[in-house]
Amino acid sequence: MPYIYVMILPFLTIASSSNRGRGVFTTENISKGTVIEIAPVIELNAAEREHLEKTLLYDYIFEWGEDHKGAAVALGYVSIYNHVSDPNCAYQMDFENQTITITTIKDIQKGQELFINYMNPEGASDKAVWFDTF
């Protein structure tokens, strides 16, 4: 496996997010197209995922693998990014290198929260998320 440089840009911070618990924010302006985080993941097979889904970590895992049967626990800040239907960041899952990369898809101003769309790694989607169905 090739060596992957893992990074979180130093101007990212975790802070309280209105009605969402915690979230990822920026202390500087960020241009569209900036890679802001490359995080390793802990990969879990389908049987391990089944156990994990019975815990609090269920809300923080990503479906993983080409068949989406496994799961991944992302390290770094990745599991703290909150969801919106029209996000300012996208994520890319690299199954071979076991990483998730976060990239801005809009210009982001100092102090703003960074969001991803849980249902569409590439950006906007109106597809309902599991926590909106309760």
How do strand 82-83 and strand 70-74 relate by DSSP bridges? Answer: unpaired
Alpha-helical segments (H) within 1-134:
46-52
pLDDT in tens, 103-117: 999 999 999 999 999
Q: What is the pLDDT of residues 68-90, one digit of tens each?
A: 999 999 999 999 999 999 999 99
The three-point CA angle 132-63-37 to 5° equals 95
**Whole-number Å distance between alpha carbons of 72 and 53:** 12
CA distance 79 to 97: 18
Q: For the chain, list the domains and their CATH numbers.
A: 7-122 (2.170.270.10)
Q: Cβ of 70: how many Cβ atoms within 10 Å? A: 19
Please tell me the pTM assigned to this model.
0.86
